[in-house]
Structure 1
Amino acid sequence: MEDILQRYFGYETFRTGQRELISFVLDNESALGILPTGGGKSICYQVPGIIKGGLTLVISPLISLMKDQVDTLNASGISAAYLNSNLKAAEEREIMTGLAYNRYQFLYVAPERFNQLTFRQMLNQLDIKLIAFDEAHCISKWGHDFRPSYRQVINFIGRFSCPFLAVTATATVDVKKDIQSLLNIADDHVIETSTGRDNLAFKVDPTYQKEKMVREYVSSHRHDSGIIYAGTRKQVEALSEQFNHLNIDHTLYHAGLPKAEREENQAKFVNDDCPVMIATNAFGMGIDKSNVRYVIHYNMPQDLESYYQEAGRAGRDGLDSECILLFSDQDIRLQQFFISTSDEAIQEKKKEKLEKMVHYTKTTQCLQGTIINYFNPDEHLQPCGKCGNCLRQGSYNMTTEALKILSCLIRMKEPVNRLLLIKVLRGEDNHEIKDYHYHQLSTFGLLKDYETKDISRFIDTLLFNGYIHEVNGRMICHPSAKEVIMGQTKVMTHYEPINYKEKVTIKTVTEVNEQLFSQLKKVRKQLASELNVPPFTIFSDHTLTLFAKKMPTTKQEMIHIEGVGSYKLKHYCPQFIDCINDYLSVAR
């Protein structure tokens, strides 16, 4: 394997995960590789394809991606071709003839090509040794770039006896399981390396002066190559107009431009003729430009998969690069509108993903760690040390709370789930606690004066700093926790202690006060009617549920509720606080 790697690709050693995936394929076993952007996914099917001989069929979603891969292979002395709609009839016939005479080692095609009967008939005559799915997340209906044509391909290729190799950089647990099921890939044939990339510095900027921030940033990085993603074509055009006035060299890309203009603009950017690309999310997949120094998202994407794939186009050469997300509440409404226009069957799933994306913009934990945890919840986390949150260390010293949490976790004969750990720390009366005699522990009730959400925040800090490791939803102390227990390090976090008048209302409960919840919905409906907006844009049902559970009666208490920002606190919350106070006055 190393000989092939050195001879054709110029590398002496394989990267993490590559050797294992290649070995599976050489043993005629199907496999799934989830490797980070720039992690060498194509080598995982190119090396075994060369070794196995015959033809490797690569199913790829984009024409530009096919052309780049084929050009690279041919330049390395490996015979490869692609079939797509850009070819002239004579060029296509020449390639088909070459396939019939076994002249190619690799053939790249789009999944839509399988709709042609003549193509399917031709494949039956070829010596196919391996079928690879590039950008494999497109197979899954839970993937952010789902292509129904990808799934239709599977019905046809199932007749081939060769192994399948699926590779992608972005796959949540749901997407991973979906791909495995469709391609019949066993759990022990999934190789997943960390999605973390040490050279990227992630930042979230909740500025209301987006245009000013972008102008100043790009002006101070005129010699760097960068991508600015905007949520709509209109926004792309508006930013481009501003850059024209500032004489900032740039180009633009969105689906509303003529095809020839899009291709010309893309070429300018890729070939370093133009340093800045302003684009919608129609731009980027398959663009292997290694020297992108920054990616700025002018608007928040709909999910973390999209964000990470787009932001991950920065720094593919391994050099330090920045990924900056500008965020405002208007972005949430824009994405909610997009979701409302999608297939009803997947709207709920998209809403869940949007909530995770919003959480990313609000979290005080390591931003890179938050992304890693989203894709692989079982991975041991450590602070990246360079994201906006890591550089803005918390001002609250939670070392005492950390000692109590870690001591309790150890005494509970780990591993245990988060909720049970919190209940023991709060000293709650619970049958499970009594069954396991946790109420007899010296650590029982050590944090009884803290709210559930605050203890959970402390646990998150320990998790994201690597002192606790969570696997399959259960927590264990990592060996590095010894540093805290032995007093060798302090643990800092973002936390403001607050005194609640109604401690009894802040509990780890699952019951919602339905009467209060109904009253809160009426307040929301009235407010929405006055403002002529949909009710969910005021507060989601989830936030109203938290209001009904925790019954905050002041702005100081309300601001700690998930879904309440500073604008909504000022303009909307007073009416909900009045509603809660009225309810409590009657209840008393």
Structure 2
Amino acid sequence: MEEILQKYYGYQNFREGQGALIDYAVEGRSALGILPTGGGKSICYQVPGIALGGLTLVISPLISLMKDQVDALTAAGIEAAYLNSQQKEAEARAIERGLIKGEYRFLYVAPERFDKNDFRYLLSRLDIRLIAFDEAHCISKWGHDFRPSYRQVVGRVMSLGAPCMAVTATATADVRKDIQSLLHISDDCVVETSIKRDNLAFKVDPTFQKDKMVRRYIKEHPDDSGIIYATTRKQVEALSEQFRDFKISHTIYHAGLPAEVRAENQTAFVNDNCSVMIATNAFGMGIDKSNVRYVIHYNLPQDLESYYQEAGRAGRDGLTSECILLYSDQDIRLQQFFIGNTQDEVIQDMKKEKLEKMVQYTKTTQCLQGTLINYFNSEEHLEPCGKCTNCLMEADYDMTTEAKKLLSCLLRMKTPVNRSVLTKVIRGESFPRHDFEHLSTFGLMKEYETKAINGFIDTLLFNGYVDEIDGRLSVHPSAKEVLLENMQIMTHYHPVDYNERVTIHTLVTVDDALFDVLKKVRKTLAEEMKIPPFTIFSDRTLTLFAQKQPTTKQEMFQIEGVGSYKLKHYCPRFIEAIKSYQTTV
């Protein structure tokens, strides 16, 4: 196999995962390969296709993708062809005659081709040794780019009797299981490598001046090739018009353009005749332009699968490249509108959940590449990338003490547990059927909110000190550096956050006498303002006042039910009452 690799592709060694997939194909076993963008997925079925002889049938979702693949194979001296709806009849018939004569090793077709009776008859006359599903996530209804035609063709393809190889860069656990079920691929024939790309720097920018930022970036990178993704055709056209006004050379791509214009614009970009492409997500699948130095998302995508696949078109040559995400609340509302038009309620709920994950990506303080890795494979060991927005942002809170407490607690539990259990034990919540209450670390962080503890756990996870397998946490060996060598762990945490509303959980009992005083203050205020007392503060909030006894506005604002208006207009009276009460007891 290495001889084929060297002869036709010029590489000495296979990349991670390629060799295993090739072996499965040669052995006649169906397999699934989940490799990162730019990870050499096509080689996984092309090399065994050459070794097996006969014909390899490749199911591909896009005409442009077929053409690029066939051009690349032909350039390497490998006989390949494609059949699609844009070909002239005479050209298609010539290819069919060549197929019957065994002149081609690879045939690329779209799934819709199987709807034609004459094509299915043609296949019955060919020596098909291997079937490949390129961009296999399109098969799954749980995938971000689901194509019903792709799924519907599976039965007809499987009836050909040849082993299948499915390859994709983006497959969550649900998508992977769906593909395996449809193509009858066993667990031991699934090869999944890390989506980590060391040369990519992921950045998030919530700027309100998107246009200005994009123009400035392009002018600062005049010799670099880049893609700017926008959600709608209208937005693509608007950006294009603006670029023309500022004399920024570019081209555009969206489904509303005539096919010949799309092809012309794509060729100009791929051939480096134009360095900037403004496009919707209709552009890019299978485009193997290796020198894209940046990908800017002008709008928030609908899910992390789409974002990773589109952003991953940067830096396929292994050189440092940037993936920049701009977003606004308006982007979220637009995606919610699109999702709302989905007819299938199950699919709609799934899309809502994926959009929420996408939004969380823009707000996380953890490593951005680590967040993507964790989304696709939650069991992969994580480490900071050192290049993304969050890794470069200086952490301002020393959580070394909290880290030692959490790691010590997890070690003393002597078994992997989910984060909910760890959080409850460290906060001192009871476990009637466990012995955790006898641990020296039980209740060690009872003064912390669940949200804060989860943030500390995330920091340990994303820095590689904790692993999460099957939803259960365990201490990684590298944690010894923290426990024994007094290594400092920094994170982003603010015990008092103006934008947070904290629900207080405490073992402190309510001071009934103070509660009665506060009720009188509330009643007096209500009478003065001629409004019902509960509209000032609920009994729940007064109970929290009586428990925590806040004596400053800052302390007051941490309590549930206290907003900015009430902090200014009502709280001074309650603070005065609490201080007065404290001097009398």
**Which range, TM-score by smaller chain?**
0.7 to 0.9
- Matched with 1:320 is 320
- Contact 1:555-1:573 within 8 A present in 2 as well: no
Deviation of 1:414 (Å): 2.6
- Matched with 1:521 is none
Match of 1:455 among 450, 453, 456: 453
Supply the distance in 1 between the matched residues of 2:243 and 2:176 (Cα, whole angstroms).
41
**Is 2:40 aligned against 1:30?**
no
- Matched with 1:475 is 473
* Deviation per residue, 1:126-154 (Å, 9 max, x gap): 11111000000000001111111111111
What amino acid maps onto 1:371 in structure 2?
L
Supply the distance in 2 between the matched residues of 1:472 and 1:146 (Cα, whole angstroms).
27
Cα 1:41–1:412 change in 2 (3 A) is same
Cα 1:493–1:499 change in 2 (3 A) is closer
* Deviation per residue, 1:501-531 (Å, 9 max, x gap): 9987449xxxxxxxxxxxxxxxxxxxxxxxx
Supply the distance in 1 between the matched residues of 2:225 and 2:14 (Cα, whole angstroms).
29
- Matched with 2:377 is 376
- Contact 1:134-1:167 within 8 A present in 2 as well: yes
- Matched with 1:173 is 173
Normalised by the length of structure 1, the TM-score is 0.86
Matches within 5 A, 1:16-27: 16-27=16-27
Deviation of 1:63 (Å): 1.0
Matches within 5 A, 1:313-352: 313-345=313-345, 346-352=347-353
- Matched with 1:123 is 123
* Deviation per residue, 1:196-249 (Å, 9 max, x gap): 100000000011111111111111111111111111112111111111121111
* Deviation per residue, 1:270-298 (Å, 9 max, x gap): 11111101111111112111111000011
Deviation of 1:574 (Å): 6.1
- Matched with 2:200 is 200
Matches within 5 A, 1:105-254: 105-254=105-254
What amino acid maps onto 1:389 in structure 2?
N
- Matched with 2:417 is 416
Cα 1:259–1:504 change in 2 (3 A) is closer
Matches within 5 A, 1:81-120: 81-120=81-120
Match of 1:493 among 473, 486, 491: 491
- Matched with 1:358 is 359
Cα 1:106–1:438 change in 2 (3 A) is same
- Contact 1:205-1:326 within 8 A present in 2 as well: yes
Secondary structure of the residue aligned to 2:406 is helix
Cα 1:231–1:573 change in 2 (3 A) is farther
- Matched with 1:484 is 482
Of the structure 1 ranges 377-386 and 225-234, higher mean CA displacement relative to structure 2 is found in 225-234
- Contact 2:292-2:321 within 8 A present in 1 as well: yes
Supply the distance in 2 between the matched residues of 1:156 and 1:499 (Cα, whole angstroms).
58
* Percent sequence identity over aligned pairs: 67
- Contact 2:229-2:299 within 8 A present in 1 as well: yes
- Contact 1:222-1:248 within 8 A present in 2 as well: no
What amino acid maps onto 1:451 in structure 2?
E
**Is 2:395 aligned against 1:394?**
yes
Supply the distance in 2 between the matched residues of 1:353 and 1:425 (Cα, whole angstroms).
31
Secondary structure of the residue aligned to 1:296 is strand
Cα 1:149–1:436 change in 2 (3 A) is same
Normalised by the length of structure 2, the TM-score is 0.86
Cα 1:444–1:144 change in 2 (3 A) is same
Cα 1:98–1:463 change in 2 (3 A) is same
Secondary structure of the residue aligned to 1:416 is coil
* Deviation per residue, 1:397-427 (Å, 9 max, x gap): 0000000000000000131111000000000
Of the structure 1 ranges 80-89 and 298-307, higher mean CA displacement relative to structure 2 is found in 80-89
**Is 2:12 aligned against 1:12?**
yes
- Contact 2:427-2:447 within 8 A present in 1 as well: yes
Deviation of 1:69 (Å): 1.0
* Deviation per residue, 1:350-379 (Å, 9 max, x gap): 000000000000000000000000000110
Cα 1:263–1:504 change in 2 (3 A) is closer
Aligned length: 529
- Matched with 1:464 is 462
Q: Which runs of 5+ in 1 are unaligned?
A: 508-546, 562-568, 582-588
Secondary structure of the residue aligned to 1:42 is helix
Deviation of 1:576 (Å): 11
- Matched with 1:440 is 438
Supply the distance in 2 between the matched residues of 1:367 and 1:392 (Cα, whole angstroms).
12
Secondary structure of the residue aligned to 2:286 is coil
What amino acid maps onto 2:201 in structure 1?
A
Supply the distance in 2 between the matched residues of 1:113 and 1:473 (Cα, whole angstroms).
43
Supply the distance in 1 between the matched residues of 2:349 and 2:81 (Cα, whole angstroms).
41
Supply the distance in 1 between the matched residues of 2:479 and 2:494 (Cα, whole angstroms).
24
What amino acid maps onto 1:152 in structure 2?
Q
* Deviation per residue, 1:482-516 (Å, 9 max, x gap): 11011342110000013999987449xxxxxxxxx
Secondary structure of the residue aligned to 1:489 is coil
Deviation of 1:259 (Å): 1.8
- Contact 1:452-1:506 within 8 A present in 2 as well: no
- Contact 2:503-2:559 within 8 A present in 1 as well: no
Cα 1:165–1:244 change in 2 (3 A) is same
- Matched with 1:527 is none
* Deviation per residue, 1:243-267 (Å, 9 max, x gap): 1121111111112222221111111
- Matched with 1:298 is 298
Cα 1:499–1:573 change in 2 (3 A) is closer
Secondary structure of the residue aligned to 1:475 is strand
- Contact 1:296-1:323 within 8 A present in 2 as well: yes
Secondary structure of the residue aligned to 1:49 is helix
Cα 1:214–1:51 change in 2 (3 A) is same
Secondary structure of the residue aligned to 2:91 is helix
- Contact 2:502-2:558 within 8 A present in 1 as well: no
What amino acid maps onto 1:210 in structure 2?
K
Deviation of 1:158 (Å): 2.1
Secondary structure of the residue aligned to 1:99 is helix
What amino acid maps onto 1:380 in structure 2?
H
What amino acid maps onto 2:400 in structure 1?
T
RMSD over equivalenced CA pairs, Å: 2.8
Supply the distance in 2 between the matched residues of 1:113 and 1:90 (Cα, whole angstroms).
17
Supply the distance in 2 between the matched residues of 1:573 and 1:25 (Cα, whole angstroms).
63
Supply the distance in 1 between the matched residues of 2:330 and 2:555 (Cα, whole angstroms).
24
Supply the distance in 2 between the matched residues of 1:558 and 1:331 (Cα, whole angstroms).
31
What amino acid maps onto 2:321 in structure 1?
S
Deviation of 1:328 (Å): 0.9
Supply the distance in 1 between the matched residues of 2:105 and 2:567 (Cα, whole angstroms).
69
- Matched with 2:581 is none
What amino acid maps onto 1:179 in structure 2?
I
Deviation of 1:104 (Å): 0.9
- Matched with 2:514 is none
- Contact 1:295-1:313 within 8 A present in 2 as well: yes
Q: Which runs of 5+ in 2 are unaligned?
A: 507-540, 572-585
- Matched with 1:407 is 408
